[in-house]
Structure 1
Amino acid sequence: MPTALEASPGERLRTLRDLLGLTGSDLARMTGISQSWISQVETNAREPSEDRLRVIAEATDTPLSFFFAKPSSVPLDSLRFRKMASASRTLTRRISAFYGESFRVTEEVTSDARYPAPPLPYAMANELTEEDIEDLADQTRVALRLAPDKPIPHLTRALERAGVAVAPIVLSDPAGDTASTNKHFGVSYWAGIGETALIGYFPGHQGDRDRFTLAHELGHLVLHTFRPRAADPEGEANRFAGALLLPRSRAEIDITDRMTLEGYARLKANWGMSIQALILRGAAVGNIGDSRKRSLYVQISQRGWRKNEPVTVGQESPLLLWTLITKLFGTKPYVPASERLAIQPAVLRSIAPQPVAAATAAAGADHGSRTNVVQFKRRGSAGPDEPANVLAH
């Protein structure tokens, strides 16, 4: 039975429903257990029997240990989301539950493997100037062991080697189909110095969008972990992302007021940023004015590039969590890890996908459209102070 440090089974039951996107009636139909019993347990109006929890566990392919697991240390009201304003509250609640469970698992496996916490810089001042954000982005490049003025070949791997875990979030609906999350892009949390950091993102069809999401969420970790009440956190994180992906020293050289969209397309191939993000970056460093920016955006709309830009940036795949769980649970880790980590195998497959399976899926999605794909090279060997080749290929 749970200890004082663990959530009640009722709380965990509600978390399970949120995690799987199930209503009380959905779960009642799946299990044959009345909806009123489910509701009473979730509100702690009655104690659940282990037999009924076992029925729910079997019906949802969830280990019984899930109901007695210590809850995530993430305060869900502190999560930072990159999402559209019209994103569904119900879906956002589900993503919060999914992220909370992902964070709990990440804490456990990184602790068991003694993987180092990220050495990220962090902002403390109440107000940040644009120069402050630029400087913090430069400091973050140093922390990630990146060149100060070169493109980032593989942002995901740079984050993971520095101790920031990255997890793709793929949700399914009750019918087993992939649920739409196209109004959400990313979510992140870091408790601070010496603590676990996890960036969750929703894989899309555009590698440049995913890279910007990771950089944006990293911005939240650096800028808002100790400044939770910043006036414009999303704007600051966007500025940080641009500065991280294309440092000011290069943006001031590479972007000019006379550059055509074709020139921006060439920059996209080099820096792994969308044309639209590059235009905003040029404006942020003062190299293009408002009228030129508006003109470029009109041209983008006229060419139909708002949602479908030319030049495909190769998609990145995370590796850290898969590497750690295979070290702990073997080469076929999902089932044996499920009971120990108190998590559904399907959730574990989402946040720690098998690299070969992920590569095969990506190859299938890109079949017939490989022309002009920008594949960023992997970083070289880990330095002497990095974990002993835990991410070696």
Structure 2
Amino acid sequence: MPASNNYDPQRLTLALEFKGWTQKELASRLELRPSYVSMLVHGRAELTDRLVERIGFIAGLPVSFFTKPAPLVDVGSLTFRKRANARNIGALTSEWALLTDAIAHLRRTCPISDCAPWLDSLAPSARVDADMVERIALDTRRSWGLADDEPIRNLCGNLDRQGIIVAATVNQLEKGDGLSCPARLWNQPVVGLCAAGKPGDRMRFTLAHELGHLILHRDREPERVEDEANRFAGALLFPRTAAAQELHADMTLNDFAHVKARWGVSVAALTRRALDLDVIDGDRYRSLQIQLSNRGWRTREPVEVEPEDASLLAQMAAWSFGEALSPDYLTVRADMVEDTLGVPFTTINQWCWNRLHESIGTTA
């Protein structure tokens, strides 16, 4: 019997992708035939109340998850810093759809500054070269009131104030750190950071990289998008004028580590910055990369940079579903969050960098 209630079979597909499960895995967990789960997914069998409750319990999803319309996302417009396997991409893409759908609802219920004019003022409309990318990154810094020789102390905080949402994703990429959607069809810029277990310097570079996509690729799709975003990130975090004063051709890895301590940029990124600015040549760069590997600095560098987190999305959630008792203590009604957004409170809180606290209240 085909589906005949308010449960959308497309949401079942979304749930599978979000959890990284196959239909066969769900069938095993439900102790059902895989062919029957396939019928549920394709709307040829009814998603009953009891069955939806079972699926929700097993998957950790509220029943309201299955009653919402299926969100749409243009996979081709999403950025991934590095390649990922198909299941990774499916999980993150479905999470992105849920995240942006939740943000769209929050934007309707709470005030947030429109950062589109700021992005428009910086975004190029024609082909750019490396010097133009450097200049755009410098213009970005100056729009924040930063001097050319001044490190960015808190990049997440700068984006919060600009109205760009930075969310910590639930799903992680084994070989990647972040995603965004620079296309104009998204009027609310969002960056998703796969931040779990990542050092602060890597998070900062990923965030700067994704900001590069949001600015540089708002109106254009060049062939070397990743190279442009990387160049932007380096220039944003460590401007050319400052690099000219602090970098020199015979620097050792330990010398680069001292620069890292001041600027919050990894040694690996600093050596690339030195190459991009012709401070070192290709042979010296390759030698430094070999040394990085031999010392084990590819996985863990010396000089710890504290991870950052963002607050804008948490503030929006508190505005819509609770209150801000203080800047650092935001409370929400978890049941209202789940009923309204169709997403588990734990997922929303992860997106909000675990800044939300559950409040106890009675339903009106």
| CA 1:16–1:145: 2 relative to 1, 3 Å | farther
Identity of aligned residues (%): 32
> What is aligned with 1:35?
34
Separation in structure 2 between the aligned mates of residue 60 and residue 302 of structure 1, nearest angstrom: 43
Equivalent residue runs for 1:51-66 within 5 Å: 51-66=50-65
> What is aligned with 1:15?
14
Please say if residues 8 and 69 of structure 2, whose CA atoms lie closer than 8 Å, have aligned partners that are also in contact.
no
| CA 1:149–1:74: 2 relative to 1, 3 Å | farther
Query: Offset at 1:202?
Result: 1.2
Separation in structure 2 between the aligned mates of residue 303 and residue 56 of structure 1, nearest angstrom: 48
> What is aligned with 1:88?
85
| CA 1:71–1:146: 2 relative to 1, 3 Å | farther
Please say if residues 28 and 34 of structure 1, whose CA atoms lie closer than 8 Å, have aligned partners that are also in contact.
yes
Separation in structure 2 between the aligned mates of residue 55 and residue 356 of structure 1, nearest angstrom: 27
> What is aligned with 1:222?
215
CA offsets 1:137-161 (integer angstroms, 9 cap, x no match)? 1222244454443110011111111
Please say if residues 190 and 196 of structure 1, whose CA atoms lie closer than 8 Å, have aligned partners that are also in contact.
no
Separation in structure 2 between the aligned mates of residue 290 and residue 90 of structure 1, nearest angstrom: 36
Tell me how many residue pairs correspond in the alignment. Answer: 339
Separation in structure 2 between the aligned mates of residue 265 and residue 348 of structure 1, nearest angstrom: 36
| CA 1:24–1:73: 2 relative to 1, 3 Å | closer
| CA 1:268–1:65: 2 relative to 1, 3 Å | same
Separation in structure 2 between the aligned mates of residue 111 and residue 327 of structure 1, nearest angstrom: 11
Please say if residues 9 and 68 of structure 1, whose CA atoms lie closer than 8 Å, have aligned partners that are also in contact.
yes
CA offsets 1:25-69 (integer angstroms, 9 cap, x no match)? 332344455433332232344564455334433443323332232
| CA 1:15–1:73: 2 relative to 1, 3 Å | closer
Query: Offset at 1:205?
Result: 3.4
Residue identity matched to 1:91? N
> What is aligned with 2:3?
none
Residue identity matched to 2:9? G
Tell me how large the CA RMSD over aligned residues is. Answer: 2.4
> What is aligned with 1:176?
none
Please say if residues 334 and 348 of structure 1, whose CA atoms lie closer than 8 Å, have aligned partners that are also in contact.
no
Separation in structure 1 between the aligned mates of residue 356 and residue 7 of structure 2, nearest angstrom: 38
Separation in structure 2 between the aligned mates of residue 134 and residue 269 of structure 1, nearest angstrom: 22
Equivalent residue runs for 1:367-378 within 5 Å: none
Separation in structure 1 between the aligned mates of residue 249 and residue 203 of structure 2, nearest angstrom: 27
The answer to whether the aligner puts 1:208 opposite 2:209 as a matched pair is no
Residue identity matched to 1:43? H
Q: 3-state SS of the aligned residue for 2:179?
A: strand
| CA 1:280–1:42: 2 relative to 1, 3 Å | same
Query: Offset at 1:211?
Result: 0.6
Equivalent residue runs for 1:119-138 within 5 Å: 119-120=118-119, 121-125=122-126, 127-138=127-138
Alignment gaps of 5+ in structure 1: 1-6, 172-179, 358-393
Residue identity matched to 1:303? R
Q: TM-score, normalised by structure 2?
A: 0.85
Query: Offset at 1:314?
Result: 0.8
CA offsets 1:232-263 (integer angstroms, 9 cap, x no match)? 11111111110111111211222111222222
The answer to whether the aligner puts 1:97 opposite 2:94 as a matched pair is yes
The answer to whether the aligner puts 1:152 opposite 2:145 as a matched pair is no
Separation in structure 2 between the aligned mates of residue 190 and residue 113 of structure 1, nearest angstrom: 23
Residue identity matched to 1:208? D
Please say if residues 9 and 43 of structure 2, whose CA atoms lie closer than 8 Å, have aligned partners that are also in contact.
yes
The answer to whether the aligner puts 1:307 opposite 2:299 as a matched pair is yes
> What is aligned with 1:327?
319
Please say if residues 117 and 197 of structure 1, whose CA atoms lie closer than 8 Å, have aligned partners that are also in contact.
no
Separation in structure 1 between the aligned mates of residue 71 and residue 135 of structure 2, nearest angstrom: 33
Q: 3-state SS of the aligned residue for 2:181?
A: strand
Equivalent residue runs for 1:283-294 within 5 Å: 283-294=275-286
Alignment gaps of 5+ in structure 2: 1-5, 323-330, 358-364
